[in-house]
Structure 1
Amino acid sequence: MRGAIGGPRLLLKRLREVMAEPVSAQERLDKTVVLIAANMVAEVCSVYVLRTDGTLELYATEGLNPNAVHLTTMRKGEGLVGLVAKEAEPVTTADAQHHPSFAYKPETGEEIYNAFLGVPILRAGETLGVLVVQNKAQRAYSEEEIEALATVAMVLAEMIASGELQALARPGADLASRRALQLTGAPLSEGVGLGHVVLHEPRVVVKTLIADDVGRETDRLDNAIVGLRDAIDTMLDRGDLARATETLDVLEAYRMFAQDRGWITKMREVIATGVTAEAAVQRVQSDTRARMQRVADPILRERLYDLDDLANRLLRQLTGDGHHVSSDSMPKDAVLVARSMGPAALLDYSRDNLRGLILEEGGPTSHVAIVARALGIPTVGEVEGITSLVEQGDAIIVDGSVGEVQVRPAPDVEHAYAEKVRFRAKRQEQYLALRHKPSRTRDGCDIKLYINAGLLVDLPHVKESGADGIGLFRTELQFMIASQFPRTGEQYALYKAVLEAAGDRPVTFRTLDIGGDKVLPYMHQVEEENPAMGWRAIRLGLDRPGLMRSQLRALLQAAAGRELRVMFPMISASEEFDQAREVVEREITFLRRHGKPLPDLVKLGAMVEVPSLLFQLDEILQRTDFLSVGSNDLFQFLYAVDRGNARVAGRFDTLSPSVMRALKMIADKSNAAGVPVTLCGELASKPLEALALIGLGFRQLSMTPSAIGPVKAMLLEIEAAEITELVDHHLKPEADRPLRLALREFAAERGIPL
């Protein structure tokens, strides 16, 4: 480095010594700028720190007027320093005063300096400040000097991000590294949660930035890259995509990026300046993120996620760190933050400590959202970039009712949300007051309200909510949280506990609905082009009769002496139901032969969620004791919309004419045949949608436990006949406005709570 004393490695070594000294934050910063100026033979070295109000404040200087420290400020974009902060890229000029962005600050005394080099202080792609060196002579700074200063800026970024400099800020002038953020996404599960961030896949914390042996660090990087490539190849080659959260396309992108020579060369160059392999990965990742965040092309910006994931994988190769937070290490008020997550991963966390869930991906009908609602966890999805905007332990608020996330909230914001929590609690008390009232409309129409459940933790909700029973018990959740296939005895114990908790209320058990995105880690997976429409649910059960018989045997024994209701998921043709019924009959015969007590009555039903069954309703109604409509999958298959794909999951209205007409046909034919029909999808959990379902003719709805109160409050204020007339009118081709709008206006006019 031209004119440098000892080069960047010596500077980093001395900086490490300064960082270890037991001195105040201001003294440490003052010593740092002196060291940098001496090493680069610069007459000025200054550190500007970005505040939450968007202004840059001079925090330390060697060469400028010391009285200007904590006095001089400029806006982001103002002057050369502001330009560096705005563009997040180095700016250098031999003649600063004639640069079009130059801004004169008389209190600093910098008018005598001509040469200027400023680099952004970056962390995770976010600008935290600006590091500047200046000289009187009109000179050009070399690429090596720019690179060296950028490496030093990375060390300062850790100092700023640690919060050490916040103590130097004026009252009310918080630093940008801790600035409050308000983010929006898709509301997935109602409720408000206040707590602290727990990253589902936490970023590796790089503790050692400065290298003792550059050659060794280069070797470590090369070995980690080999390990990364091998890990990616293994995932692709062994068909492990069903267990990985990444899609095939993303993994192929990883493979391509992992082979990129430019990326690897850049990291080696950064190591050569005297930092560790981990610090080099972090530095290149941060620089790349800062550049790509300014790219307008959404496709190119999507690559940012791929590059982030790749860098995080490489950091784990280097450190050997795992990527899962154990329940034992979770704070008591954890808000889980993840890019994406399957339902099994969510169930790994302790429900006692979990206050909320925030996802970058995941729509309202994704299975993780369904499980979150079942557990009563406030959840927001589709929050862009959330995993890179928060740090482990950050204060955070999630509002699953409106889809808002508050990161590092100000005290007044936190207070407002605490009040909202208290208000919700008061409203829940009002709903509890309704739990013993019959679910009957004003014109005397009885509507049965059931809850959806799947775990023992759900069982108290039956009595607490005043529900008429359990309309859908998802038996697969027990399998998903187990480390191995549950034995018949373990299944029996769960089903017995469920029936005892329900008392004399009915319980409808759905047989195993696994496959698709509900994967059992201990079961061999078959790679499929489209798992959602592949080997899953009843298809898997019929092809693996031993698995199905084990579950049915446990159910039959658990329900001895009472009624047992069993339904089969994803029935596509009436013949599939016949085959499933034969398996039940064989198990009944087996248990009777061995003298085992049996249920007093066994009722078998089918889930209507595959559109083909709409055209076999007459046949299936002749065979079944009841029907259950799975509106989530039915909607997905009707519109060919992947419910887990955030880009298309919200594209169509669930109250659209096509969906409503399909549901009306099911309700009309079931009612005419005298076969009870229950809608147990997510539609039933929202008062407005439940209002539409009542108008279609559904008299049994199954929903999340928290929805019982709001839905009951709604139906107590309506007349079913009036709603039926309104819905029928707006399903006709000549209807003048959408059904959703008509129902909303109707409710507003009559004061019906939604």
Structure 2
Amino acid sequence: MVTTIGGPRVLLRQLRETMAEPLASQARLDKIVGLIAENMRADVCSFYVLRDDGALELFATKGLKAESVHMTTLRLGEGLVGLIASEAEPLSLDDAPSHPGFAYRPETGEDKYNSFLGVPVLRAGQTLGVLVVQNAERRHYGEDETEAMLTTATILAEMVATSDFDNLIKPGSDIDLRRPRMFNGVSFTDGIALGTVVLHDPRVVVVNFIAEDTDAEKLRLDNALASMRVSIDAMLDHGDMQPSSDHREILETYRMFANDRGWVNRLTEAIENGLSAEAAVERVQNDTRARMLRQTDPYIRDRLHDLDDLANRLLRVLTNTNQQGQRELPDNAILVARNMGPAELLEYDRKKLRGLVLEEGGSTAHVAIVARSLGLVAVGQADSIVSMCETGDDIIIDGSAGQVHLRPTPDVEQTYIDKVRISAKRRAHYAALKDKPSVTKDGVDITLLHNSGLVADLPMLDDTGAAGVGLFRTELQFMIASKLPRLQEQVDLYAEAMEIAGDRPIVFRLLDIGGDKVVPYLRSMAEENPAMGYRSIRLGLDRPGLLRTQVRALLLAARGRQLKILVPMVTETFEFRQTKLVVFKEMERLRRAGEPVPSRLELGAMVEVPSLLFELDQIMPEADFVSIGSNDLVQFLTAADRANPRVSKNYDPIGLPRLRAIRLVVDAARRHNKPVTMCGELAGRPMEALALMAIGMTRLSMGPASIGPIKEMVLNLDLKPIQDSVAAALTVGADGVAIRELLTEWVEKQNLPMG
């Protein structure tokens, strides 16, 4: 094996000096390939860059014909260079022309070169180009030389990603790293948002790539690894970490990777080749990401997220940077994240935030519900978008189609600008309907209400003409706050909400936290299945001080007006009676203190736990009204986690079994002459709302943006024949017609507008 002159560390120092010289971009690149050829004792060194049209263009060479630069191109998968780019793997050959993938380009004059070593140039696991060395004599490039080339490619990747490189690109084209991309995801909310990317968890920017002292860098790596392992062990040993929780499994995976000798050895080897500790982490993770992205096994691809997170943790330790919390947002910010909780979303400046894109999450997850409450356009399950975008990239979210356009072309951008204009006209059309009574053509009065949780939402009551607020989520105030809101803070919020609502009714749901609604200052044990755990009214009854304070705040805020309180997640009638006792005791306490009490108090029960379906005749006499929380009810009925897209999409929420369950509540409410309202996400979707009206539901509470489309459908609807048709379908067994298909036929027959 022919050895290199000075090894990779000498080359990296030379590259750093070259990068600092006042050279034009092409001259700098030409000098770099010359230095690599000299260091590798190669006759040829060439650098190919992957363009946005899928072609690999020769950008610089030492040894091939100079006139072939910017003229020679290969397609992905074409020739040895195209093969390396498509597979993101190094390739070493001592007789390149005999390889079946060899593609000769006569303008380069490379026919006389036999030995070949090519490595991919990677950034965030994406192929940016290919770096090649060649020799006329037959020789074998060993592992050390391959490693040296990969190390050099790490530096080249950063150069390609900088703006200094732009003037080498032909007009009308760009590098593949910045090409437009489109992601098909799952719609969380309708609407269109144009803006710029803000990464929720921004990647650590590596500034120093080249090691001054490799021994010192290895010591820094060892110390950072030790610190990270200690922090992971501390989290695992924490008293509230349950043995079989998902969180524990993730941390166990982190610990396994953090102690993997193969991973640590690769990091150490990269440092020995001249990279800083931070650059070594980025280099190794680039290689790992590139390989794992090309795997079809979903388990392996899932582990990629774990490795990404672990690498980012290690980079933060090395650079002594903490994960950023709330940041200053640009106008029209589009937040992009792998996943996030509702409390994290609420930390951002809502005046500047236009949309949300997640790699994970389901349309009924609480973060999606909060996004709707904030009026954000949101899409989930946009696979791998975090690694493919940078803060500041242009982005468009098409909520209706569940699509995300990253770095859109001018044509695509103009198309969506036109759609926004059309959408504005549609909103004006809906606004013209706001004062019309919501009554079907055959005279059925349908009450349309808002779901809300922020005082900022409530002025939209005037814009939509809604009859009131069917669900005010009081927990959002708790999730935004850094500490438990005091009594007066709660009183002020509820009083302001009532003032804005005016004469229109507003239903306050008691605190519903737990599950994925994390409140950091209320510590609780980790749970294997938090959606069915210590949450909602269970938590309130177990912590009576918390419940009493909120009830007292609501009673004081009413200031003699009417007050409606909704008790969430009632599992059996006994829980509702216990909650009523707390409310009545607080009422009596205020009377004795001479404080004004509500002129009329109504207490409602939320039906979202299936066991309550078998106590409807017991709960109805106790409650003044009932509301249905379809999100939880459907997930519990189907045993399908609503935040898990693999199972949540398998069951139609208006399928026969679910619709029969909801009809049980409607029929019981009718027998007991109690109002019943649908407060879940079903109420805001036209086809699902039609199904609810078909089984007798006449009170629907939804996001403000859904009021217009639902009202337009109601005004054009002849309901009675659809009710008869659905009633007949529900009496048939499992082989009966699908409700969605049946309703689709009626929509076409009556020519109903469906938003």
Q: TM-score range by the shorter chain?
A: over 0.9
CA distance, structure 2, for counterparts of residue 92 and residue 515 of structure 1: 55
- 2:179 maps to which residue? 179
- 1:51 maps to which residue? 51
- 2:695 maps to which residue? 696
2:722–2:746 Cα contact (<8 Å) kept: no
- 2:384 maps to which residue? 385
CA distance, structure 2, for counterparts of residue 3 and residue 488 of structure 1: 75
5+ residue gaps, structure 2, are none
CA distance, structure 1, for counterparts of residue 217 and residue 327 of structure 2: 34
Whichever residue aligns with residue 556 of structure 2, its letter is Q
CA distance, structure 2, for counterparts of residue 162 and residue 236 of structure 1: 40
CA distance, structure 2, for counterparts of residue 711 and residue 327 of structure 1: 37
Counterpart check, 1:71 vs 2:71: yes
Counterpart of 2:752 in 1: which secondary structure? Answer: coil
For each residue in 1:697-742, what CA deviation from the matched residue of structure 2 results, as whole angstroms up to 9, or x when unmatched? 1111100010000100111100221221122122232675311122
CA distance, structure 1, for counterparts of residue 402 and residue 255 of structure 2: 35
Which aligned pairs between 1:645-664 and structure 2 lie closer than 5 A? 645-664=644-663
- 1:357 maps to which residue? 356
Whichever residue aligns with residue 35 of structure 2, its letter is L
For each residue in 1:32-79, what CA deviation from the matched residue of structure 2 results, as whole angstroms up to 9, or x when unmatched? 111111111111111000011111000001111000000000111111
| 522-531 or 250-259, larger mean C-alpha shift | 522-531
- 1:611 maps to which residue? 610
Q: CA deviation at 1:2?
A: 4.0
For each residue in 1:449-472, what CA deviation from the matched residue of structure 2 results, as whole angstroms up to 9, or x when unmatched? 110111111111111111100000
CA distance, structure 2, for counterparts of residue 581 and residue 634 of structure 1: 23
Counterpart check, 1:542 vs 2:552: no
- 1:517 maps to which residue? 516
Which aligned pairs between 1:545-560 and structure 2 lie closer than 5 A? 545-560=544-559
Counterpart of 2:46 in 1: which secondary structure? Answer: strand
Which aligned pairs between 1:104-115 and structure 2 lie closer than 5 A? 104-115=104-115
CA distance, structure 1, for counterparts of residue 673 and residue 224 of structure 2: 66
Whichever residue aligns with residue 248 of structure 1, its letter is R
- 1:326 maps to which residue? 326
Counterpart check, 1:227 vs 2:227: yes
| 392-401 or 53-62, larger mean C-alpha shift | 392-401
The 1:241–1:206 alpha-carbon spacing in structure 2 relative to 1, beyond 3 Å, is farther
- 2:125 maps to which residue? 125
CA distance, structure 2, for counterparts of residue 747 and residue 166 of structure 1: 53
1:541–1:547 Cα contact (<8 Å) kept: yes
- 1:461 maps to which residue? 460
- 2:260 maps to which residue? 260
- 1:91 maps to which residue? 91
Counterpart check, 1:141 vs 2:144: no
2:439–2:445 Cα contact (<8 Å) kept: yes
- 2:14 maps to which residue? 14
TM-score (norm 1): 0.98
- 2:710 maps to which residue? 711
- 2:165 maps to which residue? 165
CA distance, structure 2, for counterparts of residue 191 and residue 162 of structure 1: 34
- 2:586 maps to which residue? 587
Counterpart of 2:731 in 1: which secondary structure? Answer: coil
CA distance, structure 1, for counterparts of residue 225 and residue 681 of structure 2: 45
CA distance, structure 2, for counterparts of residue 22 and residue 494 of structure 1: 60
2:246–2:528 Cα contact (<8 Å) kept: no
Counterpart check, 1:444 vs 2:443: yes
Whichever residue aligns with residue 162 of structure 2, its letter is S
Whichever residue aligns with residue 291 of structure 1, its letter is R
CA distance, structure 2, for counterparts of residue 635 and residue 613 of structure 1: 13
Percentage of matched positions with identical amino acids: 56
CA distance, structure 2, for counterparts of residue 72 and residue 214 of structure 1: 39
CA distance, structure 2, for counterparts of residue 528 and residue 78 of structure 1: 52
Whichever residue aligns with residue 366 of structure 1, its letter is A
CA distance, structure 1, for counterparts of residue 456 and residue 62 of structure 2: 62
Q: CA deviation at 1:326?
A: 2.8
The 1:415–1:586 alpha-carbon spacing in structure 2 relative to 1, beyond 3 Å, is same
Whichever residue aligns with residue 130 of structure 1, its letter is V
Q: CA deviation at 1:531?
A: 1.3
Counterpart of 2:372 in 1: which secondary structure? Answer: helix
Whichever residue aligns with residue 494 of structure 2, its letter is Y
Whichever residue aligns with residue 688 of structure 1, its letter is M
Q: CA deviation at 1:246?
A: 6.6
Instruction: Give the 4+ runs in structure 1 shifted more than 4 A.
Output: 239-242
Q: CA deviation at 1:248?
A: 2.1
- 2:152 maps to which residue? 152
Counterpart of 1:731 in 2: which secondary structure? Answer: helix
Q: CA deviation at 1:427?
A: 0.6
Whichever residue aligns with residue 440 of structure 2, its letter is T
1:180–1:407 Cα contact (<8 Å) kept: yes
Q: CA deviation at 1:195?
A: 1.3
CA distance, structure 1, for counterparts of residue 649 and residue 207 of structure 2: 42
CA distance, structure 2, for counterparts of residue 199 and residue 239 of structure 1: 32
| 336-345 or 742-751, larger mean C-alpha shift | 742-751
Whichever residue aligns with residue 692 of structure 1, its letter is A
For each residue in 1:362-399, what CA deviation from the matched residue of structure 2 results, as whole angstroms up to 9, or x when unmatched? 10110000000111111111111111111122111111
Whichever residue aligns with residue 324 of structure 1, its letter is Q
> How many correspondences in the alignment?
751
CA distance, structure 1, for counterparts of residue 552 and residue 3 of structure 2: 83
Instruction: Please provide the CA RMSD for this pair.
Output: 1.4
- 2:619 maps to which residue? 620
Q: CA deviation at 1:83?
A: 1.2
Whichever residue aligns with residue 108 of structure 1, its letter is T
Which aligned pairs between 1:346-495 and structure 2 lie closer than 5 A? 346-495=345-494
For each residue in 1:428-452, what CA deviation from the matched residue of structure 2 results, as whole angstroms up to 9, or x when unmatched? 1110110011111111111111101
| 707-716 or 245-254, larger mean C-alpha shift | 245-254
CA distance, structure 2, for counterparts of residue 617 and residue 207 of structure 1: 64
- 1:190 maps to which residue? 190
- 2:670 maps to which residue? 671
Which aligned pairs between 1:233-272 and structure 2 lie closer than 5 A? 233-239=233-239, 247-272=247-272
CA distance, structure 1, for counterparts of residue 743 and residue 459 of structure 2: 33
The 1:171–1:749 alpha-carbon spacing in structure 2 relative to 1, beyond 3 Å, is farther
| 160-169 or 233-242, larger mean C-alpha shift | 233-242
CA distance, structure 1, for counterparts of residue 236 and residue 647 of structure 2: 26
TM-score (norm 2): 0.98
1:694–1:723 Cα contact (<8 Å) kept: no
Whichever residue aligns with residue 637 of structure 1, its letter is F
Q: CA deviation at 1:514?
A: 0.9
The 1:241–1:409 alpha-carbon spacing in structure 2 relative to 1, beyond 3 Å, is farther
Q: CA deviation at 1:237?
A: 1.5
5+ residue gaps, structure 1, are none
Whichever residue aligns with residue 375 of structure 1, its letter is L
1:239–1:527 Cα contact (<8 Å) kept: no
1:160–1:177 Cα contact (<8 Å) kept: no
- 1:207 maps to which residue? 207
- 2:337 maps to which residue? 338
Whichever residue aligns with residue 714 of structure 1, its letter is M
CA distance, structure 2, for counterparts of residue 103 and residue 54 of structure 1: 17
CA distance, structure 1, for counterparts of residue 728 and residue 23 of structure 2: 77
CA distance, structure 2, for counterparts of residue 303 and residue 49 of structure 1: 29
Counterpart of 1:196 in 2: which secondary structure? Answer: strand
- 1:680 maps to which residue? 679
Q: CA deviation at 1:651?
A: 1.3
2:2–2:139 Cα contact (<8 Å) kept: no
